[in-house]
Structure 1
């Protein structure tokens, strides 16, 4: 069984027992969260597509850790003007483990 969920404006394909990184969630490590924005559910070849979400379905996930992604460098320059700007950014994320998918 798999599902496509939406979290933080992005879509993720999840299965029971998998762990993924999503945009940072406001919850403590070790707690469980319910994700109700389930866009699609596939089970034994039968696919249920929501309009826009599948009614009555939810995904239960456990929060494993919070962290920051690798640094992304943004470098801007103007040739022959001695303008050089270097900025770095680390996006925060939350690692979750999918416990169950229910329809």
Structure 2
């Protein structure tokens, strides 16, 4: 059985015991989180919600909050002598899917 969940403006296809990196959630390590379910698929076919599936819960456990690798951005304007270096580290939350309750 699999489910398509929505969090952080993105959609993820998850199964039980999957580990996913999602946009940072306001949750502590070892806490439980519940996701909105857009669709559920299994042996009996695919069930799609309008927009969410009623009576289905996907629960996960927060393993880690962190930041990804640094991305360096270099902007440059030719003939002006103008350049600027910037960096960015995207925060994430590492979540392990514990159950899909349909």
Give the TM-score range, shorter chain.
over 0.9
Q: Per-residue deviation at 1:96?
A: 0.3
Give the number of aligned pairs. Answer: 102
Runs of 4+ off more than 4 Å: none
TM-score (norm 1): 0.94
The residue that corresponds to 1:33 in the other structure is 33
1:13 and 2:43 are equivalent in the alignment: no
Cα displacement string for residues 42-70 of structure 1 (whole angstroms, at most 9, x for unaligned residues): 01151001111111111010000011011
Mark the runs of 5 or more structure 2 residues left unpaired by the alignment. Answer: none
SS in 1 for 2:14: strand
Residue 8 of structure 1 and its aligned partner are, at CA, apart by 0.7
Counterpart of 2:49 in structure 1 is: 50
**TM-score, normalization: structure 2?**
0.95
- Unaligned runs of 5+ residues in structure 1 are none
RMSD between aligned residues: 1.0
